[in-house]
Amino acid sequence: MCSIIGYSGVGKAAPLLVGGLQKMEYRGYDSVGVATLNSGKLLIRKGIGKVEEVNKSLGLKEMSGQLGIGHTRWATHGGIIDSNAHPHSACTTNLAIVHNGVIENHQELKEELLKKGHVFKSETDSEVIAHLLEHYWALKNDIKEAMMNTCNRLRGSFAFVAVFDDSTLCAARYDEPLIIGITAGGYFISSDVLGFLDYTDRAIFLDNRDIVLLEGNNLSIIDFDGEKVERTPTQVAWELADSDKGKYAYFTLKEIYEQSHTIFKSMQQKKESVETFCDIIANAKDVFVTGSGTSYHSALLAKHILSKYSQIRVETVVSSEFQYSSELLDENSVLIAISQSGETADVLQSVKAAREKGAKVLSIVNVTTSSLARLSDCFLEVKCGPEIGVAATKSFTSQLSIIYYIADTIGGNLTGISTNRMELSKAIEKSLELESKIAEFAAQIKDAKDIYILGRSNHFPICLEGALKIKELAYIHAEGIAAGELKHGPLALIDKNSVVIILNPDDSTYIDTLSNAHVVKSRGARLIGITNKPHLIYDYCIPIPYVKESLLPMLEVIPLQILAYHLALHNNANPDYPRNLAKCVTVR
Ligand code: F6R
C-alpha cells in the first residue's frame, strides 16, 4: 500500500521525511513526493519512480523547512503518472495532504466539490481530501472543525496527514495504520514505526476515528466528534530498526539466509500465551485457519500439521473468500488468522466476519502492534524481525515453526520441532550452501515460459509457495500442482518446452510422486527433483539434507526461494520490489 509520513520539529524536515519513506518503501514504490512549509509557503516536489531516483532528479532532501509531509504510492485509483503522485494540494496551495487507503465515496464527493467550483488536478480518490479540507477551512477558518467535517464525510479506509500554511500539521485514521513518533525535538506521524525508528522508540499507536492536531510543540488528539482522546505512549522494540541489507545485495537474499536462526526465535513464546492459544483451539467446536498469499500457504500446512500431529480437525479458507463461507461459525468456533503484517485487509475482513458470528480469534502475526494483533483474543508472535523484501520468505518458515510448536503442545511433541530444531537449522544452512549451484541452474531455465511444481500431501502447499515466489519475483508463469492431479487435466500442458520441478523427498509420498515424474518425463519435459533420495529420472537434482519427515516442508521451500531469487536477477527484476506489488495489502 502507500506509505505516509509527516514531521514537525526542530530538525530540517525533508531529509527526515525522505529517510523515513525509504524505510517504508516496501509499502509501495510507484511514485514519491514531499511537501514542506518554508516561510509560510508550501513547496511540493513529486514524481514517478523509487525514492532514490526521485530524490536524485528532484532534490527532495534539499527542500527547506521544519514541517512537511511525504508519500510513496502503490497505485489504486489513477495511473502511475506525476500528477497522481502525492502530496495533493487543493485549488490554492495553502494546504497539502498525503493519503493511504481508498476513499469509496470519492466520486460522489468530487461531483459535489466540482459544483462548488473546485478544480481537480489528478485522477486519484485522495485528492477529494485536500478539497474537502480547503472547503471546510475556508468556511469557518478553523482547522480542527475542517478536520472533523472532512473525516465525517469520508467513506472507506484512510490514514492521511495534512500540512497547512499556518504551520499546523494534522492527521487522521480510519482502518489504516498511523503512528506518532515522539522525539525530543518534534513529532513524526507515519504509517509504520520504521518511518521514525532511527530517531525514537517512543510511539503512540492511533486508533480508528483519531484526529491528531499539531501546532508547534502542542499535540492533541480528538475523535471525529471533537471529543478529547487520551492515548498512552509505548516503547517500540529497537530490534525493529534492524532493517539494513548488511553484506547482502538485496533484503530478500538477506532474509532467505536469516532463516536458519529465525525459525528458533518463533519458538520463544510466552508460556501463558501458548497455553491460552492451545486451550482455545483444543476446546473449540471447530477450527478455521485463514491467511492471504504466502500466509495462506502456511494455513494450508496448518491443516495437515494440526490434524496429523494433534488430531485437531481444521478447515482452511483463503482470506479473500472467508466472508462468503463464514455461515458455519458460531460462538464455539475459533478462527486462526495468519499474517506477517497484521494489516492485510482480506485477513481483517475475515476476523470481522468471524467476530460477527461470535467466534474467538487467534492470530499468528509478525507485527505485534498491528490491527490483527489488537483484534485477537490471543496472538503468538512470529518474531522473524522486519521483513523488508516484498516477497515473504523468513516470515513463512517462522509461521510454520509456530504451527509445528502449537501442534506439539497440543499433541505431545509428535512433529519433533523442538527436539530436532538444531538438525533442521543445520539442514537449512546446508541448503543455503547450494546457492551458487542453484544460480547456475536458474540461468539455464530463465527463459522458461511455464514452470510447474509438483508434490503431494504436506509438500503441496510448498509447491504453491514456490510457484508464488517464481511468479512474483521472476515474472514467470508458475503453477503448483498436487502431483496426483496431473492426470486429471494439467498433463495436457506438458511438452518438451515445460520445466517441471518435483518435490520428491524420501517419505510416504516418494513412490507415487516418482511415478508422476516418469509420466512427465515421457512427455519430454525438463525435470528437476528436490529430494534427499536422488533418482536418475531427474535431469537436474537439488539435493536436500535429511531431516525428520514431518519437518521436510520447512526445508524444501529454501531451494525454491533461492531459485526464484536468481531467476529474478537473471530476468533483470529487482527481487526486493516486484512490479505492481506492495508488502502490505490494505485494500480488498
Ligand atoms: C507473497 C507475499 C504475499 C503476502 C500476502 C499476505 O510473497 O508476500 O502474498 O503473503 O499479501 O500478507 P500478510 O502475511 O502480511 O497478511
Q: Is the domain of 366 the same as that of 225?
A: no
Q: Is the domain of 442 the same as that of 406?
A: no
So what's the pLDDT on residue 395?
Answer: 97
So what's the pLDDT on residue 17?
Answer: 98
If you measure from the C-alpha of residue 382 to the centroid of ligand 1, how many angstroms do you get, rounded to a whole number? 14
So what's the pLDDT on residue 293?
Answer: 98
Q: Is the domain of 165 the same as that of 63?
A: yes
Grid cell of 511 as nine digits: 513412490
So what's the pLDDT on residue 45?
Answer: 98
So what's the pLDDT on residue 242?
Answer: 59
Looking at the CA of residue 294, tell me the nearest atom of ligand 1. 10
CB 169 within 8 A of CB 67: yes
Q: Mind listing the pLDDT tens digit for each residue in 297-320? A: 999 999 999 999 999 999 999 999
Q: Which residue, 236, 269, 291, sits at the end of a domain?
A: 236
pLDDT mean over 17-30:
92
Instruction: Give the total number of structural domains in the chain.
Output: 3
DSSP string computed for 362-422 = EEEES-TTSHHHHHSSEEEE-------SSS-SHHHHHHHHHHHHHHHHHHTS-S-TTTTHH
- Which helix (H) or strand (E) segment is 224 a member of? none
Query: Residue 217 pLDDT more than 90?
Result: no
Instruction: Say which of 2, 151, 278, 463 is annotated catalytic.
Output: 2
So what's the pLDDT on residue 241?
Answer: 54
User: How far apart, in whole angstroms, are the C-alpha atoms of residue 455 and residue 465?
Assistant: 12
Tell me which residues have their CB closer than 6 angstroms to ligand 1: 292-295, 339-341, 344, 347, 391-392, 468, 472, 585
The answer as to whether 513 is a domain residue is yes
User: How far apart, in whole angstroms, are the C-alpha atoms of residue 129 and residue 419?
Assistant: 56
Q: Is the domain of 414 the same as that of 312?
A: yes
Q: Is the domain of 504 the same as that of 437?
A: yes
Q: Which residue, 397, 419, 441, sits at the end of a domain?
A: 419
- Write the CATH number for 396: 3.40.50.10490
Question: Which residue CA neighbors atom 11 of ligand 1 most closely?
Answer: 293
Q: For residue 338, with 0-12 CB atoms within 10 Å meaning exposed, 13-18 middle and 19 or more buried, which class applies?
A: buried
Q: Is the domain of 327 the same as that of 438?
A: no
pLDDT mean over 10-30:
93
**CA dihedral over 350, 579, 98, 220, signed as positive or negative:** positive
Starting at the edge strand found earlier in the chain, the sheet holding 179-183 runs 41-48, 31-38, 67-73, 3-9, 186-190, 179-183, 202-205, 234-235
Grid cell of 319 as nine digits: 482470506
User: How far apart, in whole angstroms, are the C-alpha atoms of residue 29 and residue 341?
Assistant: 17
So what's the pLDDT on residue 76?
Answer: 85
Task: Enumerate the β-bridge partners of residue 300.
Answer: none
- Which helix (H) or strand (E) segment is 211 a member of? strand 210-215
If you measure from the C-alpha of residue 26 to the centroid of ligand 1, how many angstroms do you get, rounded to a whole number? 12
Q: Is the domain of 29 the same as that of 154?
A: yes
The answer as to whether 215 is a domain residue is yes
Give the global pTM.
0.83
Average pLDDT, the chain: 94
So what's the pLDDT on residue 429?
Answer: 96
**Residue, of 587 and 565, whose pLDDT is higher:** 565
Query: Residue 30 pLDDT more than 70?
Result: yes
Question: Which residue CA neighbors atom 16 of ligand 1 most closely?
Answer: 339
What does DSSP say about strands 499-503 and 3-9: parallel, antiparallel, or unpaired?
A: unpaired
pLDDT mean over 454-481:
98
Asked if 2 is an active-site residue, the reply is yes
Query: Residue 239 pLDDT more than 80?
Result: no
The answer as to whether 582 is a domain residue is no
Q: Is the domain of 256 the same as that of 388?
A: yes
The answer as to whether 585 is a domain residue is no
Q: Which residue, 198, 216, 236, sits at the end of a domain?
A: 236
Q: Is the domain of 232 the same as that of 245?
A: no
So what's the pLDDT on residue 368?
Answer: 87
- pLDDT tier, 357 (very low <50, low <70, confident <90, very high otherwise): very high
Q: Is the domain of 481 the same as that of 531?
A: yes
Instruction: Say which of 254, 384, 583, 584 is annotated catalytic.
Output: 583
User: How far apart, in whole angstroms, are the C-alpha atoms of residue 519 and residue 302?
Assistant: 30
Q: Mind listing the pLDDT tens digit for each residue in 251-278? A: 999 999 999 999 989 989 999 999 999 9
Asked if 378 is an active-site residue, the reply is no
Q: Mind listing the pLDDT tens digit for each residue in 73-89? A: 998 888 999 999 999 99
Q: Residue 575 in 3-state DSSP? A: coil
Q: Residue 534 in 3-state DSSP? A: coil
Q: Mind listing the pLDDT tens digit for each residue in 484-527? A: 999 999 999 999 999 999 999 999 999 999 999 999 999 999 99
The answer as to whether 587 is a domain residue is no
Q: Mind listing the pLDDT tens digit for each residue in 120-140? A: 999 999 999 999 999 999 999
pLDDT mean over 182-204:
93
Q: Which domain holds residue 545?
A: 432-576
Q: Is the domain of 65 the same as that of 134?
A: yes
**Residue, of 292 and 236, whose pLDDT is higher:** 292
Residue in 74, 251, 256, 292 to alter for ligand 1 test, most ligand atoms within 8 A of Cβ: 292
pLDDT mean over 383-407:
95
Q: Is the domain of 149 the same as that of 29?
A: yes
